[in-house]
Amino acid sequence: MSLAQHLPALQVVLPLISAPLAVLLRRGGLAFVIVTSAAWTAFAIAITLWLQVDTGGTISYHIGNWEPPWGIEYRIDRLNSFVLVLVSGMAAVVLPYSRASIEREIPRESHYLFYAMLGLCFTGLLGITITGDAFNLFVFLEISSLSTYVLIALGRDRRALTASYQYLIMGSIGATFIVIAIGFLYLMTGTLNLADMANNLSAIKSTRPVLVALAFFTVGVSLKAALFPLHQWLPNAYTYAPSAVTALLAATATKVSLYALIRFYFTIFGDSLVFDKLPLPEIMLLLSLFAMFVANFVAIFQTNLKRLFAYSSVGQIGYITLGLSFDSVHGLAASIMHLFNHGIAKGGIFLLVGGIVATLTTRQGIPPAPTFERLAGLAKQMPITCFGIVIGGLSLIGVPGTAGFISKWYLILAAMEKGQWWLVGAILLSSLLAIAYVWRFVEVAYFRAQPVDQVSRGEASLSLLIPAWLLITATIWFGFDTSFTVGSALDAAHQLMRSAR
């Protein structure tokens, strides 16, 4: 028996097992060790799988040794091997961070439950990404969603409960829509295997149930991915959740939903249905533009730093769907790249903001909101944290030398390929809005005088700074060395476009 051939199953199973183990051990410290080592192992497995796909092509793993159309298949191609690296990598960075971060945010006696939930959350996200079975995808979606609701509700602010409840309602509607879509597809094709479904669908593409399935799926996933105007749950959820949770969600949860959207559009429905027969590209283009402008504009006027970056996330999702609407290799590649590049930048920013919240918190007190009046003159006290947020912000703007520039460059390239010059202008204009909200932070932290009555605070502890800076460094790294991100994204886009035609 060689372990290497079972890596696709272990990718999901090891984090899954870590969660009940954490509950059984009932000790925060031990649970932390178990779940963190599961996360790092999952990260190692994801990288190995990426290398295997890179050299050997698509991997197919048959759960329970049942042949694919009947049994559940785990299918790893260019696209999901790349997303797996993002999800497991973020989990591996956020977990070591969470130990110091939840110290003051979550009562000590429920620490082990927090780790169990975190384990389940990224189990679900990895599962959605890796599976080649429609119903299995729904099950993992539920695992990740349910654990996410709990994680958000664990925030000390009482508003975390309403935020979580709001997300619960919206998320359940989204999940219901997705399962209705899967039901219709199953009805029409008699299979749940995604590849098999795609084959059977080619003859009955324009029938009404398939169109209904497409509509339900699009709306359902857009809810989960917080695509404008279905983003209402996101700002509250990101603002009131514990800092570590916010970072993990911002970097992975919406990204995985977008992955599912790409997977269904290109692998199953095929772009002749999605993009040629229906006005979907126009709708998506319009919504993306709304997200880019409205959400970024709203972000400028926020007074809470966490909420500001939450709205910025809604805006950045607009760029990802904008790339999809082009229906070209470069547009798709830009979307896939931006999943990754925005994930690491926003993850890093939220980890640093979590560091600010931790230093603002007095022992056993309720963590105060990082509002701008509390942050005045912060750069003198926490220079490393503030500098990190600025670099992350530069990546959100898309300044050359950061990862955000690379994805925006490909987005502009795709727009120019289509000859839509006004879109190039729109992308640049919306980046100006990003400059405005990042500048608000710079202005408050660097140029405003510190309130006189404020007690002097030090820099955040190293256990909070190191994981955050790991991601910020990655943002710069992937701004220069693009062989991994651009290479994977272009390969994935080529593969998807081939299968879609």
Partner 1 sequence: MSNDLVLRVIGRLLIPFILLFALYVQFHGDFGPGGGFQAGVIIAAGLIFFALTHGVNTVRKVVPDWLVETMVASGVLIYAGVGLAGLLFGGNYLDYFVLDHNPVHGQHRGIFWVEVGVATTVSGVMLKIYYMFASRSGLED
What residues line the site for partner 1 (CB under 8 A)? 1, 6, 9-10, 13, 16-17, 19-21, 23-24, 26, 61-65, 116
Nearer to partner 1, 23 or 180 (CB): 23
Q: How near is the Cβ of 215 to partner 1 at its closest, in Å? A: 32
Cα–Cα distances in angstroms (integers) from residue 439 to residues 306, 312, 347, 370, 405, in the given order: 15, 13, 19, 16, 18
Q: How near is the Cβ of 118 to partner 1 at its closest, in Å? A: 15
Q: How near is the Cβ of 134 to partner 1 at its closest, in Å? A: 18
Q: How near is the Cβ of 237 to partner 1 at its closest, in Å? A: 23
Burial class (CB in 10 A: 0-12, 13-18, 19+), 442: middle
DSSP string spanning 159-217?
HHHHHHHHHHHHHHHHHHHHHHHHHHHHHHHS--BHHHHHHHHTTSTTSHHHHHHHHHH
> Could you give the CA distance from residue 425 to residue 437 in angstroms, rounded to a whole number?
19
Nearer to partner 1, 17 or 215 (CB): 17
Nearer to partner 1, 118 or 294 (CB): 118
Q: Cβ of 371: how many Cβ atoms within 10 Å?
A: 16
Q: How near is the Cβ of 388 to partner 1 at its closest, in Å? A: 38
Nearer to partner 1, 16 or 214 (CB): 16
Nearer to partner 1, 76 or 471 (CB): 76
Cα–Cα distances in angstroms (integers) from residue 175 to residues 191, 260, 318, 353, 364, in the given order: 20, 12, 21, 30, 37
Enumerate residues 6+ apart whose C-beta is below 8 A from 318. Answer: 227, 228, 287, 288, 289, 290, 291, 292, 295, 430
> Could you give the CA distance from residue 393 to residue 210 in angstroms, rounded to a whole number?
42
235 preceded by a cis bond (ω within 30 of 0) = no
Q: How near is the Cβ of 9 to partner 1 at its closest, in Å? A: 4
Burial class (CB in 10 A: 0-12, 13-18, 19+), 109: exposed
Nearer to partner 1, 146 or 195 (CB): 146
Q: How near is the Cβ of 356 to partner 1 at its closest, in Å? A: 34
Nearer to partner 1, 119 or 315 (CB): 119
The single-letter code of the amino acid at 117 is: M
Q: How near is the Cβ of 31 to partner 1 at its closest, in Å? A: 11
Is residue 403 within 8 A of residue 344, CB to CB? The reply is yes
Nearer to partner 1, 60 or 176 (CB): 60
Is residue 86 within 8 A of residue 248, CB to CB? The reply is no
